[in-house]
Structure 1
């Protein structure tokens, strides 16, 4: 499938798949989307002393890198990706310059250079495990405080937005765990609710009216 590098509205890059008319990040701003959906609406709400995160769609590593930049507490990060982005494509991403994070360039590089299927201590307070895995094969239980659900959209990959997948997400979260996603489709919200999530609509990132946040409420 053809892949192109695209400059988004905030000046940051993304990978565009013209056959699907789909991107790895929003055309309305890769970095803006990460901050709005995953950091402001997700990470900053987690109150535990340490945060375990599962990312559905590790992709370019942007969400992981910005999480590292913004983390105020230890992070154990697991990124799942069925089809890893190539090193050549990563070299074309301009996140470091747009974020003015030149001093952290080595961290971004390390995130992509470390091996898959192993846990790596990127810094004293940030560990990363990259798993090459189909989302339907996830079997974690009560493992994560937060899920970044950043799969390709339901329009092009509806099989990733089903009750079956969200049941796996629900099981993988600890009690009071949070799942955030850029999607606000009614079918997605209903699938989340069907497996036990409490779901709320939130204002969306630039270019989207709404997004969803789902919580695995405590049974007590």
Structure 2
């Protein structure tokens, strides 16, 4: 993966990198990031920060994805509705059993066709067939898996899909902070970057000891600086 170019920008790469990191790592608005940088003596407008996010976010997310190891063989699929402009949009999400976000897809429907689109995109992107596909009892999943010939991998029932349901929480926090998403397209673009960066820094801290947490956090930070280096 080639290095990201920051040429022809008035601010040094370190400032741009910090702004991008702050915006995607924490539930902050553009104006929040502006104030954090201003406290450090860096006078940059929120509109400039917005342009940095649009320009560099997708490139950084692509670099992050290229370094990720293959997810586990258990995939969890779920969908939630998001109200955009008074209309209901469904956000479909797939994660593995360690919380790694595999795919997000905004769609207007919650039917078999929508489930098929998510699964085909997911299978093409991951490049392998999982051991299990865990969902809730929505009939669209079963119908789509039958059409793909993967019905034997389908698992439902009880609290088995809590992993996918919990994975929506970071999105809900950002939705509240941003005052709702403005369009399905902008939500898709934002989450495709946000979830890649979330994966990078998600170390499952509740499952590991404090010394291991420090090591994993330091490793994630070091890799991040390599990814965004000029």
The one of the two structures with greater contact order (alpha-carbon pairs below 8 A, sep at least 6) is 2
TM-score (ref. length: structure 1): 0.27
- Larger % of strand: which? 1
TM-score (ref. length: structure 2): 0.26
Greater Rg, structure 1 or structure 2? 2
- Larger % of helix: which? 2
